[in-house]
């Protein structure tokens, strides 16, 4: 489901993907390659509802070189994603204090008019993490017949999605969480292994 119009602007009706009552057809991960500087109470309430329903929400940290993520990535219920380049370096424009990082420089992406473009930004990094979340949930479901709970920013166990993400990284920068990489650059192979452990 798209939540942005052709002009790239969201409206208050764009929350249908998470505003309804959760059911068997509900999304298990929401990928939000968008953001802004304003804290929106209405949006935060919708995100809280999704989080409480067990939906993992992943969002772009932002591209302003700011000291913290933009919204909605700044909300505690959301996994904020920073960008890295081909050399595993954090670009100057990737907002600081992400939860995890992923490739976000010179990423081939779809573009209007059925074309492709090479783009850079935390919006390019976010789908990498969302995809890994989907792999974690699929692997866990195949083995155990249920999905993992979302977890919190501080989780460091394999009992939650966020805990697995924090462990399934190449930990660059200072050991553990740091303001540039978060917990590190996400690794899909490690994540699946931990989900099946």
pLDDT digits (tens, 9 = 90+) for 109-150: 999 999 999 999 999 999 999 999 999 999 999 999 999 999
Residue 53, domain CATH: 3.40.50.200
Within a domain: 4: no
- Judge whether 2 lies within some domain: no
Q: Which of 46, 36, 35, 39 is nearest to 13 (CA)?
A: 46
The pTM is what? Answer: 0.90
Q: Is residue 75 part of a domain?
A: yes
The domain tally of the chain equals: 1
106 domain residue, yes or no: yes
Angstrom distances, CA of residue 85 to CA of 91, 127, 161: 7, 15, 25
1 within a domain of the structure (yes/no) = no
**3 found inside a domain:** no
Task: Provide the pLDDT confidence category of residue 14 given band limits of 50, 70 and 90.
Answer: very low
Q: Which domain holds residue 158?
A: 16-196
């Amino acid at each position: 489901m798209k939540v942005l119009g052709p002009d790239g602007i969201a409206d208050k009706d764009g929350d249908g993907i998470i505003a309804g009552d959760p059911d068997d057809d509900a999304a298990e991960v929401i990928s939000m390659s968008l953001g802004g500087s304003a804290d929106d109470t209405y949006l935060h309430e919708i995100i809280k509802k999704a989080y409480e329903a067990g939906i993992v929400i992943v969002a772009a940290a932002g591209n302003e070189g700011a000291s913290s993520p933009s919204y909605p990535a700044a909300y505690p219920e959301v996994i904020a994603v920073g960008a890295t380049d081909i050399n595993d370096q954090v670009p100057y424009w990737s907002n600081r204090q992400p939860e995890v990082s992923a490739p976000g420089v010179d990423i081939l992406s779809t573009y209007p008019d059925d074309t492709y473009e090479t783009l850079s930004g935390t919006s390019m990094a976010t789908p990498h993490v969302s995809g890994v979340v989907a792999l974690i949930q699929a692997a866990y479901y195949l083995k155990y017949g249920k999905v993992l709970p979302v977890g919190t920013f501080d989780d460091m166990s394999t009992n939650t999605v966020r805990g697995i993400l924090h462990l399934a990284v190449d930990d660059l920068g200072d050991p553990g969480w740091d303001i540039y990489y978060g917990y590190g650059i996400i690794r899909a192979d490690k994540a699946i292994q931990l989900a099946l452990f």
